[in-house]
Amino acid sequence: MAIATVNPANGETLRTFDELGAEQIEQRLAAAESAFRSYRTTGFSERARLLDRAADLLDQDQDDIARTMTIEMGKPLAAARAEAAKCAKAMRWYARNAEELLADEHPSQDEVADAGASHARVHYRPLGVVLAVMPWNFPLWQVVRFAAPALMAGNAGLLKHASNVPQTALYLGDLFRRAGFPDGVFQTLLVSSSAVEGILRDPRVAAATLTGSEPAGRSVAAIAGDEVKKTVLELGGSDPFVVMSSADIERAAAVAVTARVQNNGQSCIAAKRFLVHADVHEEFTRSFTARMAALAVGDPLAESTDVGPLATEQGRADVEALVDDAVRRGATALCGGQRPKHLPKDLSKGWFYEPTVLTGITPEMRIHREEAFGPVATVYRVQGIDEAVELANDTPFGLSSNVWTRDKAEQERFVRDIEAGGVFFNGMTASHPALPFGGVKRSGYGRELSGHGIREFCNATTVWHAAEPGNGS
């Protein structure tokens, strides 16, 4: 795949970039390893100063980088601005909290004595150079939620970004340089996927993190496993959005639209399967479908646009194939189900797809098992909580979940039984720097964000001091 900016709203190639050669990759690996050796000894106050400066610069650049993201992958401009603001917020959160999150841990004095020590503690040290393989759908946020904690922990970072967002990738490398981080501490590598294995196998790379598809995750995990290197994987999702009879139906339907079409429907944590109690199924489906059909599809740079194009031509083809398969096997498209027919001429070659609601889904349909990475929702009718839980878990993925119920007993049942990395009640799934983020099953392993995320790429070092003879220990 070429490293290029291709505007998904019209299919126009705007810029192309040369891939780094072997000598250039070697230079960057050497620079990263050298930078880590000195950067790891800096204090939290210095790292926080640098990260706060990066956040300030990002705020200043918000309009420009938002436009770049929109042109490269098609998200509505307002959403791109919000993404940039969220990244600055996360940087400041880690700058403020990293030292406390990585503070030494001290067992009780009784435990210390039982271990035969005069004193003992757990001390967190950075692992080293971490390779980040990142996707195009949230091209700024996915990187920052790795980079902010990794850099605050004292690691160095190498970014292999998706090949269709090279300008965003280069911006990130430049942002940390402008903020004053030492040369080599964070670098963007413009390379294809074929170069990842060699970089990951290099002994100067200590670990890797990947957000992306299940096949990509399997590949990186296999290589890292062969090299005995730590990985964190955030892969696909087919999140359930459960609506029980006690829910506020109109509010649930309104939030459901945002939960499904955020980022043009291209989000791992977007709600994709809507499991609705029979008592409120008709009311919810009617409201949800009307709201989906009313969304404005068009130029993502226009402030009035709700849904822009899919990021790639193949991505739209994949969504079309899932919908066509379902309809052919008996599903009903209550709205959408095709490419928009009334777009302006200048957008006629863009990779747009209508917001779509499907009902009548059965297990033999591909969309029942596969992730729909676009503005397509599937609505199921369930008879009660047992069926809701069973259907929510009837997926190879387990990233997050949304549950709408005001019944406390039902809430506890869903917390206990839903197989996912998160359960969000009466609201949509969202990521926040203070809360751990990640999944189970084929959605990956490990956690990003919060204290869990910053400790993923740290060495939890046991520090033990022998008890002095004769002190009674």
Q: What is the pLDDT of residues 88-145, one digit of tens each?
A: 999 999 999 999 999 999 999 999 999 999 999 999 999 999 999 999 999 999 999 9
**What does each C-alpha distance from 301 to 70, 71, 210, 270, 307 come to in angstroms?**
7, 8, 29, 22, 11
What per-residue confidence (pLDDT) applies to 55? 99
pLDDT at 77 over 60: yes
Residue listed under structure tokens 């006629």? 348
Reported as a single tens digit per residue, the pLDDT across 194-208 is: 999 999 999 999 999
What is the mean pLDDT of the segment spanning 250-278?
98
Q: What is the pLDDT of residues 306-334, one digit of tens each?
A: 999 999 999 999 999 999 999 999 999 99
Contact 333, 327 (CB under 8 A): yes
Give the side-chain half-sphere CA count within 13 A for 264.
Answer: 31
Kindly state the tokens that stand for 348. Answer: 């006629």
Counting residues of the chain whose pLDDT is more than 70, the rounded percentage is: 99
- In this predicted structure, the answer to whether residue 147 has a pLDDT above a threshold of 90 is yes
**pLDDT level of residue 468 (50, 70, 90 thresholds):** confident
**Model pLDDT for residues 325-368, shown as the tens digit of each residue:** 999 999 999 999 999 999 999 999 999 999 999 999 999 999 99
Contacts of 270 (CB under 8 A, 6+ apart): 237, 239, 259, 260, 261, 262, 263, 429
Residue 471, pLDDT above cutoff 60? no
- Concatenated DSSP letters for 193-261? GGGHHHHHHSTTEEEEEEES-HHHHHHHHHHHHHHT-EEEEE----EEEEE-TTS-HHHHHHHHHHHHH
Q: Catalytic: which of 33, 72, 83, 234?
A: 234
pLDDT of residue 473: 44
- Assess whether pLDDT exceeds 80 at residue 404: yes
Pick the catalytic residue from 33, 72, 87, 268.
Answer: 268
**Res. 389: pLDDT tops 90:** yes
Written as one letter, the residue type at 273 is R
234 is catalytic: yes
Average pLDDT, the chain: 97
Strands (E), 363-406: 376-382, 397-398, 402-404
Q: What is the pLDDT of residue 1?
A: 64
Q: Alpha-carbon distance 262 to 255, whole Å?
A: 10
458 is catalytic: no
Q: How confident is the model at residue 469 (pLDDT cuts 50, 70, 90)?
A: confident
pLDDT, mean of residues 365-381: 97
